[in-house]
Amino acid sequence: DAKTTQPPSMDCAEGRAANLPCNHSTISGNEYVYWYRQIHSQGPQYIIHGLKNNETNEMASLIITEDRKSSTLILPHATLRDTAVYYCIVRVQADYKLSFGAGTTVTVRA
Amino acid sequence: NAGVTQTPKFQVLKTGQSMTLQCAQDMNHNSMYWYRQDPGMGLRLIYYSASEGTTDKGEVPNGYNVSRLNKREFSLRLESAAPSQTSVYFCASNPQGTGELFFGEGSRLTVL
Q: Judge: A96–B43 Cβ closer than 8 Å, yes or no.
A: no
> Cβ–Cβ contacts within 10 Å for residue A41, how many?
13
Q: How far apart, in whole angstroms, are the C-alpha atoms of residue A60 and residue A20?
A: 11
Min distance A80 CA to chain B CA atoms (Å): 21
Task: Render pLDDT for B12-70 as a digit per residue (tens, 0 to 9).
Answer: 999 999 999 999 999 999 999 999 999 888 899 999 999 999 999 999 999 999 999 89
* A8 at B interface, C-beta within 8 A: no
* B79 at A interface, C-beta within 8 A: no
Terminal CA-to-CA distance of chain A, rounded, Å?
A: 37
Q: Judge: A98–B33 Cβ closer than 8 Å, yes or no.
A: yes
Task: Render pLDDT for A1-57 as a digit per residue (tens, 0 to 9).
Answer: 458 999 999 999 999 999 999 999 999 988 999 999 999 879 999 999 999 989 999
Contacts of B36 (CB under 8 A, 6+ apart): B43, B44, B46, B60, B85, B87, B88, B89, B90
